[in-house]
Amino acid sequence: MLLDCGQSLPLLRHTDVPSRVKENFILTGYRFPNYSLRDCLLSAFRPTNETGNFWTHFLPVFIFSYYFVEVFGWEGAPHGDAPFFYPLWNYFIGVFCLLMASSMAHLLNSMSLVVREVCFFVDYGTISSYTVGSSLAYYYYIHPRAGIVETGGNNGSQMDLKQEPTGSFMSSYAIPDFCVFFENFYIPSACLVAIICVLSCCNTRQRWRRHRYLIRTLVFLLPFLISSTPVFYRLLTRSPYSATSSSFVASTSTANFFYRHCLWLLVSAVFNISKFPERLAPGRFDIWGHSHQWFHCCTFLSILDELHMIKTEVKAILLSPTLLLPPATLSHLPGPTIASTYGVMLLLQTTIISIIVWFSWHANCIDGPQSDQLAKEHPKKHVKCH
């Protein structure tokens, strides 16, 4: 048993904690699952094997917020509460909840075995909510017919589209089958896949535990593929902007940000599945430098590049109040509304919360008796070193 000086609870070895708490190749730095809320909060400033997991997603909240608010100061940008920014705010909510839920899950999971399960159920739920928040931003800013923007002083969410004759450019840009998918099935598909992901990941905490990391990683590959279809569309077709326009110049970096976004996601998946580097030296990376901390860092870098990609497309739209998409041949995308953005997220969150409640009740039935027994057998004892 490892003793920590001061009025802190002792940290433990992997042999001293329940099997549900153990992590592969992590041998020391464990907190016993009977901490109070105060003990958990104070443990953020102790070298436990969860300390790095907390800070690598808590500090990024402030970094992300710093880069996010920049867009509201751009020239020509509407007011922050304008309908044009509804999708962007939903994206922010998704990322904010993901980072906060992840950091809090790692900080508070030692309160009990049941609380530990609930913490990570919430974590999985916010990841799914984030993917839908991303999809809403992609739909309104990177969608091939995006550009419904308020550039004046009114509060409308639509813009006039420049009338252009149908020509080879338009026929090469517009792909009718994809347009049908985007307009009718893209957001519903993103929501459905998000729900499937929550169900699958929550199940890995109660079954399929042997391959849980592989399953969770692969499960979240599906929402990435679905939500990224507007970007794939843009990369495989010609830009909707005139090659001589400032919007075209602004949007040229979209591809680079997306490739970097994909690279960081790939690297994070490798860390999450391989358990490198602690697999090579069990016990050496227990506190700092283990795979889950690198996983957190890489996922945040992928989110940061995604934010830059979305901001690039927002800037391109603001620089071009009219798009080269003639409404005579292509019906324009409806502008964002409260129902189509916040309403979608609210409905999704309600569904996800219902799933979390159900799994939490099931976890309480399974782990509740064991948690109560552990609390009786291992009362909290503050150890003071002399």
Distance CA 304, CA 228 (A): 16
Angle at CA of residue 101, ends 93 and 123, nearest 5°:
105
296 labelled binding-site residue: yes
- Read off the tokens for 15: 């042999």
List beta partners, residue 383. Answer: 8
CB 88 within 8 A of CB 137: yes
Distance CA 156, CA 148 (A): 9
292 labelled binding-site residue: yes
Which among 191, 135, 129, 161 is positioned nearest to 336, based on CA atoms?
135
- CA–CA distance from 138 to each of 63, 87, 111, 175 (Å)? 21, 9, 38, 17
Distance CA 85, CA 67 (A): 15
Q: How far apart, in Å, do the first and last CA atoms of the chain sit? A: 16
In three-state secondary structure terms, 28 is coil
Task: Count the Cβ atoms, other than its own, within 10 Å of residue 158.
Answer: 15
Which among 41, 43, 42, 38 is positioned nearest to 30, based on CA atoms?
43
Which amino acid is it at 123?
Answer: D
In three-state secondary structure terms, 70 is helix
Distance CA 58, CA 48 (A): 16
- Read off the tokens for 45: 């400033």
CB 139 within 8 A of CB 147: no
CB neighbour burial string for 119-150, b if at least 16 within 10 angstroms, e if fewer: bbbbbbbbbbbbbbbbbbbbbbbbbbbbbbbb
Angle at CA of residue 36, ends 109 and 107, nearest 5°:
30
Peptide bond into 277 cis (omega under 30): yes
Question: Residues annotated as binding site for Zn(2+)?
Answer: 106, 292, 296
Question: Residues annotated as binding site?
Answer: 106, 292, 296
